């Protein structure tokens, strides 16, 4: 059994601590395989009233999925009778997200520090997301040749206006106040109070009403104002520019704004994988309004096609292995990305 996820009972709580602090608690297949059965068991156990999940080490809740391991596995042959990591990892990660999405008890994520990609999969689908002043929230997958998965097709279109489209395409980072404004955060609590919050949840009278309301009431006792949300000043520009249905039109609209912020966003988009940008916009438009479980099926297909494309390995190389942050995308420009190749990523794959 892995020690990368600590599982404990604290009275009426099931308490999960993601415990890979050197990797910013990035989620690997072993952790997924430890978490899933534990959450299932706690869902059935009458004495468990709520689940709390947090990250160890003080720097991150969870920096994402262990995409580096997935990329590394692509080169090596798959042993007889086993399946490729790229298949098992995404299928099991998304199934874990689904379990959290449909969880029958309060699921309280203490989102303190970095929370990116797969970290949102472990938090956004639960009933409560407690954010702190240390929060750095992002869906940065277009920077590594992927797309905003773990339910991004479901939750990004539910953020206000076109904020989700902006987040998913640019990989922009949000602070706690911005995360509250988006609706990602449900309560803002300062970092130094988190231990006390866990104690209070453990000491709560869970017979006082519906468990969800009990959890809310306890958490509300610790909330503070999160400070300024600079993002709010850009919401009109975001809603104007990111409402377009092609990446080229979004870039043109940002160019027409003629402000430093719009230029910064244009430059950011210019560094992302062109294929990822086109695929992500299509994902977000196509998934908008779909039931969550159908979004998961779409995203699984996308995960299998995109991890086989050159930009994924190149993105991992540039961002996580060599760290030169100079990816050589293929195709290198939006104009060279063929619509048929984007569409092909939505085709069915083996389960």
Burial code of 170-184, b = ≥16 C-beta within 10 A, e = fewer? bbbebbbbbbbbbeb
Asked if 302 interacts with ligand QUE (CB under 6 A), we say no
Residue with smaller CB distance to ligand QUE, 26 or 237 = 26
| Catalytic site residue from 28, 93, 112, 141 | 141
Residue with smaller CB distance to ligand QUE, 185 or 315 = 315
- Write each residue from 315 to 334 as x if it is in contact with ligand QUE (CB under 6 A), else as -, in one continuous string: ----xx--------------
Burial code of 23-33, b = ≥16 C-beta within 10 A, e = fewer? bbbbbbbbbbe
Whether 149 sits among the annotated catalytic residues: the reply is yes
CB of 117 to ligand QUE, least distance (A): 4
Whether 118 sits among the annotated catalytic residues: the reply is yes
Asked whether the beta carbons of 284 and 346 are under 8 A apart, the reply is no
Strand partners, 5: 18
Asked if 68 interacts with ligand QUE (CB under 6 A), we say yes
Going 226 to 230 to 231 to 233, the CA torsion angle's sign is positive
**What Cα–Cα distance (Å) separates residue 40 from each residue in 48, 96, 100?**
11, 10, 9
Site for ligand QUE in 103-162 (CB under 6 A): 116-118, 140-141, 143-144, 146
Whether 315 sits among the annotated catalytic residues: the reply is no
DSSP string, 67-125: HHHHHHHTTSPPPTT---HHHHHHHHHHHHHHHHHT-SS-EEEEE-SEEETHHHHTTTT
Asked if 66 interacts with ligand QUE (CB under 6 A), we say yes
| Catalytic site residue from 28, 112, 149, 178 | 149
| Catalytic site residue from 64, 118, 119, 185 | 118
Catalytic residues: 65, 118, 141, 149
Per CB under 6 A, residues contacting ligand QUE are 23-24, 26, 63-68, 116-118, 140-141, 143-144, 146, 319-320
């Amino acid at each position: 059994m892995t020690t990368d996820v600590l599982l404990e009972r604290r009275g009426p709580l099931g308490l999960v601590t993601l415990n890979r602090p050197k990797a910013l608690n990035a989620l690997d297949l072993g952790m997924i395989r430890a978490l899933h059965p534990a959450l299932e068991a706690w869902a059935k156990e009458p004495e468990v009233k709520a689940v709390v999940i947090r990250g160890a080490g003080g720097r991150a809740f969870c920096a994402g999925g262990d995409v580096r391991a997935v990329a590394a596995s692509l080169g090596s042959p798959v042993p007889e009778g086993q399946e490729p990591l790229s298949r098992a990892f995404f299928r099991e990660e998304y199934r874990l997200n689904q379990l959290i999405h449909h969880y029958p008890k309060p699921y309280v994520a203490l989102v303190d520090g970095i929370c990116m990609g797969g970290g949102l999969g472990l938090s956004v689908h639960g009933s409560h997301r407690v954010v702190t002043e240390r929060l750095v929230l992002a869906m940065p997958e277009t920077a590594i040749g992927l797309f905003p998965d773990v339910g991004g097709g479901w939750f990004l279109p539910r953020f206000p206006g076109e904020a989700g489209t902006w987040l998913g395409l640019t990989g922009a980072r949000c602070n706690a106040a911005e995360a509250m404004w988006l609706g990602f955060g449900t309560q803002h609590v300062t970092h130094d109070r988190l231990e006390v919050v866990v104690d209070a949840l453990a000491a709560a009278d869970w017979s006082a009403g519906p468990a969800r309301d009990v959890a809310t009431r306890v958490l509300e006792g610790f909330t503070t104002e999160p400070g300024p949300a600079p993002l709010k000043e850009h919401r009109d520009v975001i809603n104007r520019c990111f409402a377009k249905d092609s990446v080229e039109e979004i870039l043109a609209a940002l160019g027409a704004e003629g402000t430093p912020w719009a230029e910064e966003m244009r430059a950011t988009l210019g560094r992302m994988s062109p294929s990822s940008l086109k695929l992500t916009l299509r994902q977000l438009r196509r998934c908008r309004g779909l039931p969550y479980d159908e979004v998961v099926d779409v995203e699984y297909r996308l995960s299998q096609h995109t991890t086989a494309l050159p930009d994924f390995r190149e993105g991992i190389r540039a961002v996580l292995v060599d760290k030169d942050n100079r990816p050589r995308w293929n195709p290198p420009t939006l104009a060279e990305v063929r619509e048929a190749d984007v569409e092909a990523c939505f085709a069915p794959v083996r389960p």
